[in-house]
Each structure stands twice: as C-alpha cells, then as structure tokens.
Structure 1
Amino acid sequence: MTETTKKKDPFHGITLEMIVTRLMKHYGWEKLGELITIKCFMKNQSIPSCLKFLRQTPWARAKVEELYLATEFTDEEPVKVKKVKSDAEEA
C-alpha cells in the first residue's frame, strides 16, 4: 500500500472490532440502537454478535463506518452527530 493510499483510507490500521468497541463505549448499546436501527445493537448485544452481522451485511457495516467517521470522540463537549437512517427508514 502506498503512502498516498494510506492517507486516503480513514480506516487504515483500524479493525471493525476497534470501530464497534469504540462506538459502544462512547454511545452505549441503547444509543447505538437509536442511531443505527439494526438488531445487533438492540438485542443480543455483544461485540462478537455485532461483528458477525456486520461482516455479512455490507449496508450495515457502511452505516457503522459512517457513524464512526461522523463521531467526535472527545470528552470535553457533547457528541454532535446526525442519525444514520436504516434501509427500512429510507424505503
């Protein structure tokens, strides 16, 4: 991977597990379920369960990655993020 490619990829060096874990610690399961309406955030809440679902469901993984990029991970101010619509809400 070239240096230019690394700079363009916001997830370079970040695993899906790291993304889900950081979002869960930042928001909690309940808030994640409100922001992204998928069952693994609302029921059977565990990192392994979410990873299995997200690896098999590209649209859900894209929503999680979008939320990760939109989240300001600071303890100093409230989180400013827009709700990511689920496919059911978009239809």
Structure 2
Amino acid sequence: MAIQHQPNPQQNNPLHGFTLQQILELLVQYYGGFEALAKQIPLKCFSNNPSIKSSLTFLRKTPWARTQVEELFIKLKLYQTR
C-alpha cells in the first residue's frame, strides 16, 4: 500500500515562509524607508520615531494593522523576491 502525501496547504499562500519581520523589512526596503511606507499605510509606528523593533511590537498586537501590512506585501508581489 503506497503512502499518499497530502498536498501542502501552504503552497499557494504567498506569506508562507516569511516572518513578519522579513515582510516588514522588505516593505521598508521597497519604499526606501519608513516615511514612504507610512504614506501607503498610515500608522504611527511607521511615522513617529519608527524602527523595525517598535513596528513589530505594534503589528503583533494589532491584527488589523498586520493584515494591512501583509496585504500590501502580497499586492506588491514581494513574495516573489525569493
């Protein structure tokens, strides 16, 4: 009897394999800094003394903001950078 492998349910998920930190760093790099990113997603963590660390803290506690960041990442197809 052959073992059948289930297809990976994550294979079509563009976020699969990316941490929130990687997503944020790619967005900051793409826009050339937090100032331009804040124009796309107007969050205080991007416009008021921004850093990767402080932004990650906010995004991990705020699901709606994290969703906005993930949606922009997908819209820009930055997952194709691999």
* TM-score category of the 2 structures, normalised to the smaller one: 0.7 to 0.9
Q: Distance in 1 between matches of 2:14 and 2:30?
A: 19
Name the TM-score, length of structure 2 as normaliser.
0.80
Name the TM-score, length of structure 1 as normaliser.
0.73
Cα gap change, 1:42/1:64 in structure 2, threshold over 3 Å: closer, same or farther?
Answer: same
- Name which structure has the greater RCO, CA cutoff 8 Å, separation 6+: 2
Q: Distance in 2 between matches of 1:30 and 1:71?
A: 17
- Residue matched to 2:26: 22
CA displacement at 1:34 relative to structure 2: 0.6
Structure 1 unaligned segments of length 5 or more: list them: 74-91
Percent of pairs identical after alignment? 44
CA displacement at 1:3 relative to structure 2: 3.2
Moved over 6 A (4+): none
Structure of larger gyration radius: 2
Count of residue pairs the alignment pairs up: 72
Q: Distance in 2 between matches of 1:3 and 1:15?
A: 22
CA displacement at 1:6 relative to structure 2: 1.7
